[in-house]
Structure 1
Amino acid sequence: RRGSDELLLCGGGAARLAETSVVRDAELLVAVEAEEPRPGPGDRPPLPLVRLASAVEPEWLLDLMPERLAERTEVRFDARAGRVEEISTLSWDGLVLHESRKPATGPEAERVLAEAAQAAGPAAFCDPEELAAWRARVAFAARYLEDLPPVDDDAVRAALAELCRGRRSLGELRSAEGGGLVGWLRARLEPRQRAAVERLAPERVEVNGRRLRVMWEPGREPWVESRLQDFFGLAEGPRVGDGRVPLVLHLLAPSRRPVQVTTDLAGFWERHYPKVRRELMRRYPKHAWPENPRTAGGTATRSRRTS
């Protein structure tokens, strides 16, 4: 029974129990008399109508026709609950008589969870920007470290499968200790390889006492942004790759609007700063804009301009 008057049939399909049927409350029944109603013009075919039925006790099926009973246990992902379950069913000719569910464990549960996780995609289990940054950092470091494995799609899938070990739900994957998916990708590297990535492609660099976040994006050279004043006192900008590669500098006005984008800080001081200085002095007269920025101290706070 699937409701007050809808019936599930052995072998598949459904039927409707007539309102005139005396048998109304039985969980199982056999259709003694049924008919196929004719659909109206343009209507969908209606369900077969069972006019006469007889109640069946479950024990009768066990005693009289046990060969048509089947027990089955399978591990399935419940998309609604977001978890893997072990489902046990007892059916007769394909009609489920009893079903029980419990949390699934073991290799099969991990495999099913991994399939569901792959279908959801890596972005469901980490910050996409964090994942993209890690992939870009490893790709950059690989220029100088030949045995550094790439963080390609296969590596991400493998890390996601490893993350599923001992877990039963997508929620557990999202809250996994150790940094989640990106943490597992880090852990797949040898300690010396992780140290090399941190050295060659750091997350942050220090500029006049301030630690600036390095922006790592696939297909772009690494870059940082900060106020122009924070670079006062520097002859050149920070570098990565053990000093081989200058960072792209996004130099900002006090309002955080861009002033210049360059990898050549020395050239900017020499060729462009004098003109930029005049404009900044006009727009931001309460800030210090020294004539020689190479020897001036960098500042991260507002200061009054002195003559």
Structure 2
Amino acid sequence: ATGRVGSGGLSDDLAAGLLVGLAYPERLARVRRPGGSAYLMTGGTAAELAAGSGLVGSDWLAVAVADRTPGAPSARIRRASPVDEATAREAAGPLLRTGREVGWSDGDVVAREVTRLGAIELVQRRLDRPDRAEVAAALLTGLRQDGLGLLPWTPAARALRERLAFLRHHLGDPWPQVGDDSLLDAAPSWLGPELAAARRRADLARVDVSSALRRLLPWAQAARLDELAPERIEVPSGSRIRLDYSDPAAPVLAVKLQETFGWPAAPRIADGRVPVLLHLLSPAGRPVAVTADLASFWRTGYPQVRSELRGRYPRHPWPEDPGTATPTRHATPRRR
């Protein structure tokens, strides 16, 4: 074909391309990169020109013949005519669509108005005031794709989640499941207000996750949370020590041995169903014993600990009968 202008005002090339495009609108194709040989058809098919083709570099093609070898990533363009965008729009007019798109892309909310010719994106512009529900849906998609790490898991939020996991493990329903999959499935309920107010990923980093997690609790369970899974336990010395719920099967209380004198048994939580696992520490804070049966430890384990450590820590009490001894947080003052 030549570039001669016909009686209709189109060059012979464009006229030929218009005819092909009208016959096969789903085969109109735009080059993926300027000057390249790879194309995308309006029907969504990837296509490629043969090396050395005189059509390489054409921005648009109306493809008359293309075939694809089984397993090949793209079709091979055999015959085509070059066209311009205006001709492509005219030939495939029914495929031209303009719509609003709000979604999650490259780690953030993307809100835009897009004009497409089939699968080919022609024009886009940013939406300054996207629909709130669509933004919330995009943020939810982002959480499901990129994970709950998009939220600010403060130590308090992690600790609350661990306490809830403990109660679910031991008491079951109606205590909520708080694994990643369960939290993501339930996100519209426990994160609903935050998702509705957010506009972008950065807003997720300002969420109060602890407050949001509490929405998972029915009122009756919320009222008993601190009773059944206390944050801290008061030991005989008067210290209030934080429990570690990182293992939902066995909550841990790490406490210096001298502070537990007079305790007949390890405390039990979750309505008395679960004994706390005591990590008994030396005066220097090093573990000396692990037990959930304190009475047995006083009888069988403590005598050996006492014999090994009383010489190393002479300023701390090592009574023969720890079950009746006075607990203490302090060492005996040094003599002057």
Normalising by the residue count of structure 2, what TM-score does the alignment of the two structures yield? 0.65
How many angstroms apart in 2 are the aligned matches of 1:242 and 1:30?
Answer: 74
Distance 1:49 1:262, change over 3 A: same
Deviation of 1:121 after TM superposition, in Å, equals 3.7
**Aligned counterpart, 2:19:** none
Matches within 5 A, 1:132-281: 132-140=162-170, 142=171, 148-151=174-177, 155-162=182-189, 163=191, 165-166=195-196, 167-173=198-204, 175-178=205-208, 180=209, 183-207=211-235, 208-218=237-247, 220-242=249-271, 245-281=274-310
Distance 1:88 1:260, change over 3 A: same
The 3-state SS of whatever aligns with 2:328 is: coil
Number of equivalences: 286
Please, which runs of 5 or more residues in structure 1 have no aligned partner?
33-43
How many angstroms apart in 1 are the aligned matches of 2:92 and 2:182?
Answer: 52
Residue 100 (structure 1) aligned to one of 116, 125, 137 = 125
Tell me which amino acid in the other structure corresponds to 2:176.
P
The 3-state SS of whatever aligns with 1:86 is: strand
CA contact (8 A) 2:169 2:248 kept: no
Distance 1:55 1:253, change over 3 A: same
**Aligned counterpart, 2:115:** 90
CA contact (8 A) 2:176 2:216 kept: no
Distance 1:253 1:224, change over 3 A: same
The 3-state SS of whatever aligns with 1:6 is: coil
* Deviation per residue, 1:58-94 (Å, 9 max, x gap): 556667764453324333320x2x2232343223354
Normalising by the residue count of structure 1, what TM-score does the alignment of the two structures yield? 0.70
Deviation of 1:219 after TM superposition, in Å, equals 5.3
The 4+ residue runs of structure 1 with deviation greater than 6 A are 16-21, 44-50, 52-55
RMSD of aligned alpha carbons: 4.3
CA contact (8 A) 1:227 1:253 kept: yes
Identity of aligned residues (%): 29
Please, which runs of 5 or more residues in structure 2 have no aligned partner?
1-30, 64-72
Tell me which amino acid in the other structure corresponds to 2:234.
E
**Aligned counterpart, 1:38:** none
